[in-house]
Amino acid sequence: MSSTNSSVASLSTSASTGISSANSSIASLSTSTSTGISTAQSGVNSLSTGLSSTNSSVTSLSTSASTGISSANSSIASLSTSTSTGISTAQSGVNSLSTGLSSTNSAVASLSTSTSTGINSLSTGLSSTTSSIASLSTSTSTGLSTAGSNISSLSTGLSSLSTAVNGGGTKYFHTNSTQPDSQALGTNAIAVGPAATASGASSIAMGDNANASTGGAVAIGRTAVATGGQSVSIGVANTASGDGAVAIGDPNVATGTGAVALGANNSANGQGAVALGNANVATGTGSLALGNTSTAAAGGAIALGANAIASNANDVALGSGSVTATASPVGSALIAGQTYSFAGGLPTSVVSVGAPGAERQIVNVAAGRISATSTDAVNGSQMNAVTRALASLSTSTASALSTTQSGLSSLSTGLSSTNSSVSSLSTGLSTTSSNVSSLSTGLSTSQSGIASLSTGLSTTNDSLASLSTAITSGGIHANSVGGVSVGPGANASGANSTAVGGAASASGANATALGQASNASGDNSTALGQASSASGSGSTAVGQGASAPGDGASAFGQGAIASGTNATALGAHSTASAPNSVAIGANSVASEPNTVSFGSPDHERRLTNVAPGIGGTDAANMNQLRGVQSSVDQAARRAYSGVAAATALTMIPEVDPGKTIAVGIGAGSYQGYSASAIGVSVRFSDNLKAKLGVGMSGQGSTYGGGVSYQW
């Protein structure tokens, strides 16, 4: 049979019809020979022995002999007789036996019973072989007959061909992937990597399954996606889906125009939203989340620090674990029975520097302006001044009450005496006024010095003119060394500068511009985000449209502006225009030097979770203010009660002429506080009398006494 393999194709073609007809014959064969077994020839025993040894190869026999069986229509009787001794030795030559069987024409009726078992298994094998051969003949009927002898060598060649494809490449650039090819579908697009797709005009897609689908988009890294116009996605599985959005790290999502997400697992979802660090979430227009797992959950919200949460629009959470709450209007309060209105009583949002049970002190707070319209924070020294004033008031009140005369007329006299003190106070102010006049004179004198300063500057101007001439003739040039630019129209012209993104520009030395149309023109400046600008030396601008023109200034958030020297603006559209000023929160304005602003006029914020101040420049919280208010209320109650008690004492009638002793009671009221008094007056003689009394109120007792001598 092994030698027959080369002709299997022609065998399967010719035998495909014969085997199917033989199957039906074999079924009837087993039935028709059931009665003829008794007359079987004497040579059946040797035939059954020979067939038993042939049984193990019946399967291959049934396949190779299919052509012979189809033409076997003669009687098997003579076959069994003539081959009874030959079958045992014919096993090795089955091929020639199958040829001999084709000429056999004896009857099948005399086939022995001993072969029925073998025929059954043979029938089964032929049946399954028939279906296989039929499908084989159908699928390979064309071409297989001539290709069969060469298939083995072809299979070997294909195996080595597959190996060659996987290891292919050019020098310094190799691939090892069976993924689909990259596609650069957009005009002037670049696609590098398995299944990388750059479908936008001038887009760049580099990495396994990287996708840059819009004009000028840049996607670098495995499954990096840049679908926003001129967006930038760098790293594994980053997504930049807003126009000008930037997502860098593993994996970050920047959704919204100018959104920025840098680090790991950050999400910036909203126009101009910024999320920097790890697992931070900035949701809403102009929101800002920096740190680790911080959350800015609404438009204009700012969360700075690990686990900081700014829950409401324009809220600010400063510091690790800080949490904001809903702003609570406090437009007025009842103090000592009188209602007082407050400026900034309708806050729009909240600034938090801690959380309930985890408050922080705010230190190094400058003294705030104190007026009926001021919304400045006050520090500990200002609170201390109020406390001292209250203590002085309490002492003065006590002294005045102790010297209260027995009659209202004498009280009036005391007030007259006080008036004279006020006059001297006025005189003192007049003296101060004269000092101001002399100050004015001093300034006038200084003006002459200013004039000489002006003259000196004029002299310097001449030098500057010559300096300008020298520079012009000297031909000073600045060459870009070590600059790196990535993206359509990107330009890194400053020394050691970096520009990434469409039309990004880094012209300052050591400057970095990242994002579409970003501009870092100041030395050592950083501009991050679409259309961000850092023009001051050492300045930083982060967020869409953020601007830091001041030297050392920092602007964080969409449209934030830090124009003052060393100024800081945190939050969407916040503005810090004065030197060393800080504006915290969306739309906050810091326009005075060395100030911190948490809002703007008519848009103030509450400062929450503030620990009690200790140092002279620490911020005070409401508990401390309430403590002062409580002291004021207590002093007012005592003062009002004292006036009522003094009035009650004066209402006690004195001893009449000709009488020796008089005992009386009195009552008085002042500002809603009442008091009663009891007193005794004694006339020792016509010229000498004395009076003692005690006034009582809910706040305490007032004692008084007096002696008069008349002549």
Q: All domains of the chain, ordered by start, with CATH? A: 2-141 (no CATH), 181-318 (2.150.10.10), 488-603 (2.150.10.10), 644-709 (3.30.1300.30)
Greater model confidence, 40 or 203: 203
Neighbours of 535 (CB within 10 A): 22
- Residues 347-363 have pLDDT tens digits of 999 999 999 999 998 98
- Residues 652-664 have pLDDT tens digits of 998 888 889 999 9
The span from the CA of 288 to the CA of 35, in Å, is: 100
User: What does the block give as tokens for 489?
Assistant: 């129209």
Greater model confidence, 269 or 394: 269
Taking residues 20-41, what's their average pLDDT?
39
3-state secondary structure of 186: coil
Query: Which range has the top average pLDDT, 424-438, 545-559, 651-665?
Result: 545-559
Distance of CA 327 to the CA centre of its chain: 24
The span from the CA of 133 to the CA of 148, in Å, is: 15
Q: How are beta strands 512-514 and 526-528 bridged, if at all?
A: parallel
User: What does the block give as tokens for 282?
Assistant: 């900035």
3-state secondary structure of 543: coil
User: What does the block give as tokens for 608?
Assistant: 């929450």
Residue 456 confidence (pLDDT) above 80: no
pLDDT of residue 184: 95
Instruction: Classify residue 600 by its DSSP letter.
Output: B
pLDDT of residue 433: 41
The span from the CA of 503 to the CA of 517, in Å, is: 5
Residue 21 CB partners (closer than 8 Å, separation 6+): 70
The strand pairing partners of 190, in sequence order, are 204
| Of 532, 501, 498, 559, the residue nearest 226 (C-alpha) | 501
DSSP result, 491-521:
EE-STT-EEESTT-EE-STT-EEESTT-EE-
- Residues 473-486 have pLDDT tens digits of 333 233 367 788 88
Neighbours of 156 (CB within 10 A): 10
The span from the CA of 53 to the CA of 643, in Å, is: 138
State the average pLDDT for the chain: 74
Which H or E run includes 15? helix 8-32
pTM: 0.54
Q: Which of 23-37, 337-351, 555-569 has the lowest mean pLDDT?
A: 23-37
pLDDT of residue 396: 52
